[in-house]
Amino acid sequence: MTDSLINPSPRRLGPYEVGPLALGCWRLTTDVVDDARALVETALDLGMNLVDNADVYGFDWGGSGFGANEELLGRVLASAPGLRDRMVLATKGGIAPPTPYDSSAAYLEAACDASLRRLQTEVIDLYQIHRPDLLAHPADVAATLSRLREKGKIREVGLSNHTPAQHEALAAHLPFALVTTQPEYSAATLAPLRDGTFDLCMRDGIVPLAWSPLAGGRLLTDDGIRPELGALLDRLAIREGVDRAAICIAFVLAHPSRPVAILGTQTPARLESSTAALGVHLDRADVYAVVQASEGVPLP
């Protein structure tokens, strides 16, 4: 048997080591702090020490408003202060409904301060620009991020939903290295394979944080995916003795840029079952078969 492409070891994110699986807070919309704390504790106990949030989380998907999910996580941290030291706390700013994007100095500095208040923390370990502001010069954005870092409000910086060109334009003006980029990536959404995102990560030692590794659940329901992809995922799941979700997560982890898969489930039991992905064996033949089934055409 050929070696598996999945490396379950921690990823290096600046001074931090983070697990290959992370907890995403987009759906953290419960009103019950104890339930949210149980989810966070389960994630940390399972080695999912990167906790990914954003100021806009809560604005949609059944949330109670802009900032709500950060505020809930802040209440969790206040109720169990020891959790903060166990996690790499990540959040994002730059989406400003209904504008929709604002990375001006005044907005980003105010947004960062508001995130710190809601999260009830003194520093954000990883601060990411959520989406590119097409009307902001990257030199100005870089200057703002540098000030926030110099003031001790943020430690490391990354980008989310930026093209490689947008990433490089900002990086060129920063006096420090970006440590993450956060693209959508799954067996149903392969753009980072093709658009240079993963190549840039491997060139510069940047950690890709893959959001929606289950394609928002579509990979589990067959909604909008090719029938041959669903059938292949099921065959691999039967072979490996896991569920389809574990195969989908393992596919994300198999890329040599060593992504972190951000898991959006709000069920502790599903977080636990997701760790089965770390023991899945996928080789080149398996991963290329998934790519070809997803795209519906053979590779040249």
At residue 63, the pLDDT reads 86
At residue 17, the pLDDT reads 98
Ramachandran class of 81: left when φ > 0, alpha when ψ lies in -120 to 50, beta otherwise: alpha
At residue 131, the pLDDT reads 98
DSSP annotation string for 198-211: HHHHHHHTPEEEEB
Ramachandran class of 157: left when φ > 0, alpha when ψ lies in -120 to 50, beta otherwise: beta
Quote the pTM value. Answer: 0.96
Q: Domains of the chain by range and CATH?
A: 17-182 (3.20.20.100), 218-300 (no CATH)
Active site residues per annotation: 57
Q: Please give the Cα distance from 226 to 295 (Å, whole number).
A: 8
At residue 1, the pLDDT reads 67
CA-nearest of 276, 280, 281 to 46 is: 276
Spatial contact of 233 and 199, defined as CB atoms under 8 Å apart: no
Ramachandran class of 120: left when φ > 0, alpha when ψ lies in -120 to 50, beta otherwise: left
Q: Please give the Cα distance from 12 to 193 (Å, whole number).
A: 21
User: CB-based contacts of 123: which residues, under 8 Å, 6+ apart?
Assistant: 116, 152, 153, 154, 155
Q: What is the pLDDT along the chain (300 residues), one digit of tens a residue?
A: 679 999 999 999 999 999 999 999 999 999 899 999 999 999 999 999 999 999 999 998 888 899 999 999 999 999 999 999 999 999 999 999 999 999 999 999 999 999 999 999 999 999 999 999 999 999 999 999 999 999 999 999 999 999 999 999 999 999 999 999 999 999 999 999 999 999 999 999 999 999 999 999 999 999 999 999 999 999 999 999 999 999 999 999 999 999 999 999 999 999 999 999 999 999 999 999 999 999 999 999
Beta strands 154-160 and 124-129: pairing type?
A: parallel
Ramachandran class of 21: left when φ > 0, alpha when ψ lies in -120 to 50, beta otherwise: beta
Q: Please give the Cα distance from 57 to 72 (Å, whole number).
A: 11
Spatial contact of 268 and 48, defined as CB atoms under 8 Å apart: no
CA distances from 33 to 16, 38, 69 (A): 27, 9, 11
